């Protein structure tokens, strides 16, 4: 299965620019995860709601033009019989569409695919506290699914650069939201608990690879970025990974997509 995750920064905008169509046509993913869709199905085009090649599921925020996630599942996965869900149990931000989850059985094995848009946490002290709670609730939920025997793959914008080689200017941003010790400690806890950052596990020493760039300062042209978009899975499942990478040349958002191919 080829799976792509992308913070589209407005799925209608990415479609209007023609960039979403380019990605789907070029990469032909079996599963497409999107974050920050910023809309509802009533506002979406036929391409976004009735694509001939995909079953398209959306989890929209109650607030218009904000947050939201999606998962598209290719019709070619005929052996998939899935269940769709939209909320991390007991997590804050429950009305913001921050989870699109598709659970299915493939060759007798249960998979849970989670497209998650993690909060930024920078709006207020309360938002910061809620972000930290959200992190921990996601961790607990991942563990619960794993304990049920599922192969769990989490993709999305996690709004944290884990280590100094995941950000272009670590010293200048040390302690700031997105590179704060408490956020980075969450990533540490995941790894201690057997979860892994799939790309970093396959590219342990690679530098200057990022997934988000500040638009106003035109930092993408200078590759002054942050690696804050990830695929996470249990370390014991890494042998399923055939390929993983960032599609840095794909335009249409301030984030670039990420792709992983796994044995199914």
The mean pLDDT of 4-12, rounded to a whole number, is 98
pLDDT digits (tens, 9 = 90+) for 137-146: 999 999 999 9
Does 237 have pLDDT greater than 70? yes
Q: How many CB atoms neighbour CB 233 within 10 A?
A: 24
Tokens of 90: 């007991």
205 is catalytic: no
Give the chain's mean pLDDT.
Answer: 95
Average pLDDT over residues 28-52: 97
CATH code, domain carrying 155 = 3.60.10.10
Local confidence band at 174 (pLDDT 50, 70, 90 cut-offs):
very high
Render pLDDT for 245-256 as a digit per residue (tens, 0 to 9): 999 999 999 999
In whole angstroms, what is the distance from residue 23 CA to residue 151 CA?
26
d(CA 4, CA 1): 10
pLDDT greater than 80 at residue 79: no
> What integer pLDDT is reported at residue 109 of this predicted model?
87
Q: Which of 158, 155, 157, 162 is nearest to 182 (CA)?
A: 162
Res. 83 pLDDT band, cuts 50 70 90: confident
Q: In total, how many domains does the chain have? A: 1
DSSP 192: H
Q: What's the domain range around 69?
A: 2-262
pLDDT digit string (tens) for 87-119?
899 999 889 999 999 998 888 889 999 999 999
Average pLDDT over residues 218-238: 96
pLDDT for 78 equals 66
How long a stretch of residues is the chain?
264
* pLDDT average, residue stretch 31-60: 97
Residues 6 or more apart whose CB falls under 8 angstroms from that of 55 comprise: 72, 73, 75
Residue 23 and residue 251: Cα distance in Å, rounded?
Answer: 9
pLDDT in tens, 196-207: 999 999 999 999
Residue 163 pLDDT exceeds 70: yes
The confidence band for 211, taking pLDDT boundaries of 50, 70 and 90, is very high
Q: Which of 30, 112, 157, 254 is catalytic?
A: 157
Q: Give the mean pLDDT of 38-56.
A: 96
> Which letter does DSSP use for residue 240 in this model?
G
Q: Higher-confidence residue: 259 or 75?
A: 259
**Contact yes or no for 111/103 (Cβ under 8 A):** yes
pTM of the prediction? 0.96
> Which of the two residues, 94 and 20, has the higher pLDDT score?
20
Per-residue pLDDT of 188-197, as tens digits, reads: 999 999 999 9
Q: CA 205, 247, 136 angle in degrees (round to 5)?
A: 65
- Find out whether 61 and 67 touch, Cβ atoms under 8 Å: yes
Taking the CA atoms of residue 194, residue 197, residue 199 and residue 202 in that order, the dihedral angle to the nearest 10 degrees is -30
The secondary element (H helix, E strand) that includes residue 101 is: strand 99-106
Q: Can you tell me the distance from the alpha carbon of 183 to that of 260, in angstroms, rounded to the nearest whole number?
A: 24
The pLDDT confidence band at residue 82, using thresholds 50, 70 and 90, is confident
Q: SS3 of 241, please?
A: strand
**What is the distance between the alpha carbons of residues 61 and 32, in angstroms, rounded to a whole number?**
19
- Residue 80: the pLDDT is 72
Tell whether the model's pLDDT for residue 238 goes beyond 70: yes
d(CA 170, CA 159): 15
For residue 226, pLDDT beyond 70:
yes
Question: Residue 135 contacts by C-beta under 8 Å, 6 or more apart in sequence?
Answer: 118, 183, 186
Which among 192, 184, 193, 194 is positioned nearest to 164, based on CA atoms? 184
On the 0-12 / 13-18 / 19+ scale of CB atoms within 10 A, 102 is: buried
């Amino acid at each position: 299965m080829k799976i792509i995750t992308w913070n589209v920064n407005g799925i209608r905008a990415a479609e209007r620019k023609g960039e979403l169509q380019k990605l789907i046509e070029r990469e032909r993913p079996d599963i497409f995860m999107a974050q920050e869709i910023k809309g509802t199905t009533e506002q979406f085009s036929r391409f976004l709601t009735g694509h001939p090649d995909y079953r398209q599921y959306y989890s929209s925020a109650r607030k218009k033009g904000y947050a939201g996630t999606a998962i598209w599942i290719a019709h070619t996965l005929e052996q998939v019989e899935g269940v769709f869900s939209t909320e991390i149990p007991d997590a804050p931000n429950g009305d913001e569409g921050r989870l699109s989850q598709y659970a299915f059985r493939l060759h007798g094995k249960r998979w849970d695919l989670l497209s998650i848009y993690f909060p930024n946490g920078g709006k207020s002290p309360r938002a910061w506290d809620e972000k930290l709670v959200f992190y921990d609730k996601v961790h607990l939920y991942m563990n619960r699914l794993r304990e049920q025997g599922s192969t769990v793959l989490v993709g999305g914008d996690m709004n944290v650069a884990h280590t100094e080689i995941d950000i272009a200017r670590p010293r200048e941003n040390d302690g700031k939201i997105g590179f704060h010790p408490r956020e980075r400690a969450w990533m540490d806890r995941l790894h201690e608990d057997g979860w892994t950052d799939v790309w970093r596990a396959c590219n342990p020493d690679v530098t200057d690879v990022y997934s988000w760039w500040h638009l106003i300062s035109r930092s993408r042209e200078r590759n002054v970025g942050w690696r804050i978009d990830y695929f996470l899975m249990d370390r014991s499942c890494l042998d399923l990974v055939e390929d993983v990478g960032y599609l840095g040349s794909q335009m249409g958002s301030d984030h670039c997509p990420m792709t992983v191919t796994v044995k199914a």
